[in-house]
Structure 1
Amino acid sequence: MRVTKPANGASRAMRHFRFLAVGNAVSSYGSYLNMVALNLFAYHLTGSALQTGLFMALRLGASFLTGLLAGSAVSRLDRKRVMVTADSTQAVAMVVLVLAPVATQSTLLYGIATITGVCATLSSVALRSSIPEIVGADQRVRANALLVTGRSLAMVAGFASAGLVIATLGYTAAFIINAVTFVFAALNLARLPISTRRHTATPTDGGAGEAGAKRESLLGAQLTALRFLKAAPILLAMIGLRAIDGFGSASHNVGLPVLSSTIDPGNPAAFMSQFWTVWAIGSILAQRAVAWWAKRSDRSINERAFAVGAIVMSLAFILAFTTPPLLFGILVALLAGIADGFTEIAYTSRLQTAPDEQRGYVFGFSAMAENFGFGGGMVLCAALMERMSPLAVVAIFHGLAIVLALAFLAVLVLRRRGRGSEGPTEPEPATTGAPVPEPAGGVPEVVNRPTGPTTERDKAGMTEHSEAGT
């Protein structure tokens, strides 16, 4: 069933989403600032690298475990309320840490690590699952580009300002700023008149509806996701590739501080700041280009584009660790950002073609896989860099991602050629709980027909669609 929007409904939905994206960017800034501040504060309180490592591991572990239940939670509960509650909870946690006696703060840190890991994952899964319902499926690529743009800017601002804030104002000020950003995001979202769920949704046999979700266990939630993904193996393969890509991301995140110390021992932070700034510029350029394309093109971003983007991104990060000349290094960092930003949009937009009843489970499963890849990669890379150079470690993990992406791309090309003279068959994303079957021997494409409410363009009979093409 297609719900018709009133006049100017599409533009109003995107206007509301822009406000949501601003709030998300503000809270992301606080999160990146806090990521630096909390890790340094943990070491400041305990004086132990082991305790600091345990704090970081607990945060990653909480994120991973939350992925097991996030799909069930966002399928059962109101997603907007989940996001508001997650932001509010993190704000309260920061205030409690600030007001707590110094003697208890080291103990509270472990609770803070758990809360931030849980709430960040719940909020991310809820938001990514809701975008097609907030703006309509035909606008989801533009919406994803807005979100990733905001997060890229927030990451640069958060990391760049963390040292200055902590050095001049102290840890307490950093935590208060973080709490304020979460309060702003929660209030901003709470006031927006948006719907995060398809109202005509009904429970399915797989337990993906509200009634089914209430009965299922953590294992049941994963089985629900896998049942759907079994009917859409391309999405399952993309999630697997994304998890392997997490190992590659871990390698360059662990390796950059080591490389920076080698390049500029007197001021290693300078190289890292410059690299991530150029990377962010590239990411933003990609996102704005995709948003521009999505507004003007009737073509789609599909899984082949995702695979190509993953290959280019991994190659760029490997080249960055060869310590190229300055100008070439800037171009490499820019290319890494462009490919990273594009790949994020392509991945998220493709997974959002899942029906609303299964979408929360798919993104919950994806969050679990991504956190597993990144967390496991952090541990393995840290151990390997005790024996190997940063370039060797980055080449191994990003090289593995390249090999698997090439294999995935080859399978897609062969399956497409195997269609013969029948031509591509593009299944329309379902508006009910039924899984979207893949065409026999073919690859499902992202289509331009909106699964969400009919836009005013539809009413006017216009054929222009807001779907990015590649």
Structure 2
Amino acid sequence: MSVGASYGNPVGTGPTDLPRCRVVSWRERLRAVRVDTTPLGHRDFRLLFVAGTVFYLGGMVSYVAVPFQVFALTGSNLTVGLLGLVELVPLVFFGLYGGALADHVDRRRLLVATGAAQALLTAGLAWNGFREHPSLPVVFVLAALLAAAGSLQRPSREALMPRTLPHDRIVAGNALTSLGTQIGVLAGPLLGGVLVASVGAGWCFVVDVAGLVVATGLYAAMRPYPHRSETTPPSLAGIGEGISYALRRRDLLGTYLVDIVCMLLAMPVVLFPALAQEVFRQPQLLGLLYSAETVGALVATALSGWTARVSHHGRAIVLAAATYGLFVGLAGLMPSIGLVVVCLACAGAADMVSGVFRGTVWNQSIPESMRGRLAGIEMLSYSVGPLGGQVRAGLTADLWSVRGSIASGGFACVAGVALTAAWLRDFWRYDASTDEHVLAERAVRAAHGEPVTDAPGPA
């Protein structure tokens, strides 16, 4: 054996021709981690992405306008709180029913129908907002109906996204979808606040109507996505079948429980006004607290290219969720509001990572026939956690302190996530490269002639 061969070089090379380590430039490293935009090359995903971004942008404008209008009419914080309770009931019922419906009807048509309904209902809010004396009952009724229409729509939107991409691009698609949502969540309230202060709530609803019309038109432009197999009409039995499926699969159960634990124990948003005004006595910086997590999530999304190279999604979810709780806990201990904002931004980045991998587990492994119902269950868990978290945070703050409520909730979240991972070992061990459900879904897609992979993303 030659000396060169002993070092792994081609036969005949000498010892002076040893392989050299290639120097990786910072530009190449950045390319490796920046957000993968390859999914935007798929027409229907692009339509879905733009529609979702516009939808969230307009929706967040109304999110500011509705409670502002209710408070202006009543001067009562309790009445504003009751608005959320009124919206919760249709959200729970129609979320589960909408999931079952999405597994039976043409999902694209359901997106169009519910989008048109939301546009008409929001136009009603605009009409009421421009009246000399807006009606409070009209606001409550239309808000409840909008919650119902939105709950019917979301499972179809969530279930349709994986059909628009090759199986191997779903991780990148989840990251981009998260990016669109974050843009709406960040920019919508800012625009809504400006419009409410300058031209009134009515124009906020007009902007939302325009966004809903655009989004609905984009949904209509997508191609049909018929179900792969025979479906059954929505029923309680069908909803129960979806719940039973979610409970049987401990990896799915882990994604739901981790999200609930985080929102129930470590959601500090309801305490931001007290934190800014009573603890730091800087109410003018309240907006920074509200936007910090979204900014962190945007940065993490922009650097999300690495997520496609991870296959142990369960571990990634656990570690990201625990990191979220850790930074929320640290935020409760920070001596200055600037450090609190930094901690919240880090928490938002970790939450985004957890969300991307949770969505990937759902979209890569749930059978097509069950995807709508499981999206409805996911929406339910996503909604119940924050509601309970607000109650927990407020009660703890009243009994102890604002700082104590935030810090204890964050550190309790770390413990809760760890206990969930220890209990659900299948969730911790989940590996997309070997998971039977992921492999089965890939095989089904290939059998139906749907793409499983495509060319690598742009450098």
TMscore range, shorter length? 0.7 to 0.9
- The residue aligned with 2:15 is none
Out of 283, 286, 289, which is 1:275 matched to? 289
The equivalent of 1:287 in structure 2 is 301
What are the ranges of 5 or more consecutive residues in structure 2 without an aligned counterpart?
Answer: 1-37
Match of 1:38 among 66, 71, 86: 66
- Supply the distance in 2 between the matched residues of 1:274 and 1:12 (Cα, whole angstroms): 31
Q: Determine which of 27, 42, 48 is the counterpart of 1:20.
A: 48
Distance 2:184 2:328 in 1: 21
Corresponding residue for residue 322 of structure 2: 311
Query: Equivalent residue for 1:201?
Result: 229
The one-letter amino acid paired with 1:272 is: L
Residue 325 of structure 1, CA deviation? 4.1
Is the alpha carbon distance of 1:152 and 1:451 closer, same or farther for their aligned partners in structure 2, counting shifts above 3 Å? farther
- Residue 367 of structure 1 is aligned with which of 379, 383, 390? 379
Note if contact 1:136-1:453 (Cα within 8 Å) is conserved in structure 2: no
CA deviations on 1:118-173 (whole Å, 9 max, x unpaired) are 23333322111112111132211111111110111111111222221111111111
Summarize the Cα distance change of 1:341–1:450 in structure 2 as closer, same or farther, 3 Å threshold. Answer: farther
Alpha-carbon offset, residue 87 of structure 1? 2.2
Instruction: Calculate the TM-score normalised by the size of structure 2.
Output: 0.81
Corresponding residue for residue 90 of structure 1: 118
- Kept after mapping to 2: 8 A contact 1:66/1:368: no
- How far apart are the structure 2 equivalents of 1:116 and 1:224? 27
**Contact 2:318–2:421 (Cα < 8 Å) also in 1:** yes
Going from structure 1 to structure 2, the CA distance change for 1:294 and 1:396 (only over 3 Å counts) comes to closer
Q: Distance in 2 between matches of 1:16 and 1:35?
A: 28
1:36-435 equivalent positions in 2, closer than 5 A:
36-100=64-128, 101=131, 105-193=135-223, 195-197=224-226, 199-202=227-230, 210-211=231-232, 213-214=233-234, 216-217=235-236, 220-248=237-265, 251-263=267-279, 265=281, 268=283, 270-290=284-304, 292-293=305-306, 297=309, 299-300=310-311, 302-325=313-336, 328-352=339-363, 353-411=365-423, 425-429=434-438
What SS does structure 1 have at the residue aligned with 2:295? helix
Residue type of the alignment partner of 1:346: F
Change (3 A) 1:120 1:399: farther
- Letter of the structure 1 residue corresponding to residue 300 of structure 2: A
Q: Shift of the alpha carbon at 1:40?
A: 1.0
- Could you tell me the TM-score, scaled by structure 1's length? 0.79
Contact 1:60 1:375 in 2 (8 A): no
Q: Distance in 1 between matches of 2:85 and 2:351?
A: 25
Mapped contact 2:333–2:407 kept (Cα < 8 A): no
* Equivalent AA in structure 2 for residue 254 of structure 1: V
Tell me the amino acid that sits aligned with residue 361 of structure 1: R
Distance, in Å, in 1 between the alignment partners of 2:174 and 2:39 is: 16
1:260-302 CA distance string (max 9 Å, x none): 113554x52x423223444323212222332x2356x4x4251
| Most deviating of 129-138 and 115-124 | 115-124
Structure 2 letter corresponding to 1:321? G
Q: In structure 1, what is the Cα distance between the partners aligned to 2:71 and 2:333?
A: 32
Contact preservation (8 Å) 1:431, 1:451: no
Assess, with a 3 A threshold, how the Cα gap between structure 1 residues 451 and 411 changes in structure 2: closer, same or farther: farther
Tell me the CA shift for residue 428 of structure 1.
4.6
Q: Distance in 2 between matches of 1:431 and 1:325?
A: 51
Distance 2:428 2:60 in 1: 42
The answer to whether the 8 Å contact 2:108/2:222 transfers is: no
| One-letter amino acid of the counterpart of residue 313, structure 2 | N
* Cα 1:350–1:153 shift into 2, 3 Å: same
Q: Is the 1:137–1:452 Cα contact (8 Å) retained in structure 2?
A: no
Deviation at 1:186, TM superposition (A): 0.8
Q: Is the 8 A contact 2:107 2:156 kept in 1?
A: yes
Quick one: distance in 2 between partners of 1:247 and 1:172?
A: 34
Aligned residues with identical type, % of pairs: 20
Residues 27-46 of structure 1 deviation map (CA, whole Å, 9 limit, x = unaligned): 10111121111001011122
Query: Which amino acid in the other structure matches residue 138 of structure 1?
Result: D
Mapped partners of 2:446, 2:273: distance in 1: 44
- 1 CA distance for matches of 2:89 and 2:178? 24
On the 8 A contact 1:13/1:134 being kept in 2, the answer is no
Equivalent residues in 2 for 1:445-464, closer than 5 Å: 453-455=449-451
- Cα separation, 1, equivalents of 2:181 and 2:350: 16
Cα distance in 1, alignment partners of residues 453 and 244 from structure 2: 36
Distance of 2:211 and 2:334 partners within structure 1: 37
Contact 1:79-1:130 within 8 A present in 2 as well: yes
Unpaired segments ≥5 residues, structure 1: 1-9, 203-209, 433-445
More deviation in 168-177 or 276-285?
A: 276-285
313-322 or 256-265: bigger deviation: 256-265
C-alpha distance after superposition, 1:344-402 (max 9, x if no partner): 11111111211011111111112112212222222343334333322222334333332
Residues in 2 aligned to 1:86 and 1:414: alpha-carbon distance in whole angstroms:
37
Residue matched to 1:7: none
Kindly state the Cα deviation for residue 114 of structure 1 after the two structures are TM-superposed: 1.0
Distance 1:14 1:451, change over 3 A: farther
